[in-house]
């Protein structure tokens, strides 16, 4: 069992992430930094890089082909949702959403490792710590934020593609897009996420505020 350490709210406003998918090069620096900071073994990743490709060459009926090939990257972790399914389906209240900053954390003093949170989350955020038999997840680097430092993924991204802050401010600055091709419906859990879509990811996108 991992001893649970609580921290005071680091903000009185709901925090969220901004992901500039048009900048992400899939260098995986954020993913590696997160694994290193949280001492995660092979296979457990709180932040994950997804590379999505698709499209093709379409016969336009006039003897030519139209190219709609797309390829882009998404850096995704826990989105500390407004309506987190992991919290609703946790039978022990170990998975909880904090007052103030809205960070979703696992209280390991209560977690029994049943896995319901993992099965419920459309983003795959909660992951089993096989060593302790308990769930684990991105906690927004609340320990670093308590010291006035940014989350390690934000600090590490060489292109500045990941930002964080009060979600209201992020939405004012970057828009309200929280769902692109390759992500589950934002209506399921209302993620605190804003995305700047890469070309190719935009088709079929929806907005959530």
Measured CA distances, 180 to 186, 200, 207 (Å): 9, 9, 9
Is the residue at 7 inside a domain? no
Is the residue at 206 inside a domain? no
Is the residue at 209 inside a domain? no
CATH number of residue 97's parent domain: 3.30.70.20
pLDDT at 182: 86
Q: pLDDT (tens digit, 9 = 90+) per residue, 16-40?
A: 999 999 999 999 999 999 999 999 9
Report how many domains make up the chain: 1
pLDDT at 209: 41
For the cut 90, the answer to whether the pLDDT of residue 204 exceeds it is: no
For the cut 90, the answer to whether the pLDDT of residue 146 exceeds it is: yes
Q: pLDDT (tens digit, 9 = 90+) per residue, 155-184?
A: 999 999 999 999 999 999 999 999 998 899
pLDDT at 89: 97
d(CA 131, CA 150): 28
For the cut 70, the answer to whether the pLDDT of residue 186 exceeds it is: yes
- Please compute the mean of the pLDDT values over residues 102-112 and round it to a whole number: 97
The 10 Å Cβ neighbour count of residue 82 is 15
Is the residue at 6 inside a domain? no
pLDDT at 124: 95
Is the residue at 3 inside a domain? no
Is the residue at 76 inside a domain? yes
Q: List, in sequence order, every residue forming a beta bridge with 15; answer none if it has no partner.
A: 166
Is the residue at 62 inside a domain? no
- Average pLDDT of the chain is 93
Whole-prediction pTM: 0.91
d(CA 149, CA 151): 7
Is the residue at 2 inside a domain? no
Domain range for 153 is 15-55+67-196
């Amino acid at each position: 069992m991992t001893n649970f350490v609580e921290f005071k709210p680091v903000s009185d406003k709901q925090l969220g992430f901004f992901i500039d998918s048009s900048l992400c090069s899939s260098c995986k620096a954020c993913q590696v930094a997160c694994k290193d900071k949280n001492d995660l073994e092979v296979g457990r990743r709180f932040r994950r890089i997804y590379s999505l490709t698709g499209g093709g060459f379409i016969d336009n009926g006039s003897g030519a082909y139209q190219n709609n090939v797309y390829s882009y990257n998404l850096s995704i972790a826990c989105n500390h949702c407004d309506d987190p399914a992991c919290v609703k389906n946790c039978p022990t209240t170990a998975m909880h959403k904090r007052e103030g900053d809205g960070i979703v954390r696992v209280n390991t003093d209560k977690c029994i490792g049943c896995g319901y949170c993992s099965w419920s989350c459309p983003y795959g955020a909660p992951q089993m710590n096989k060593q302790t038999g308990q769930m684990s997840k991105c906690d927004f680097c609340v320990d670093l934020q308590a010291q006035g430092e940014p989350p390690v993924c934000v600090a590490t991204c060489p292109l500045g593609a990941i930002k964080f802050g009060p979600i209201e401010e992020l939405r004012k600055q970057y828009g309200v897009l929280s769902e692109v091709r390759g992500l589950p419906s934002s209506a399921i859990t209302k993620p605190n996420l804003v995305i700047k879509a890469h070309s190719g990811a935009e088709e079929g996108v929806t907005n959530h505020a």
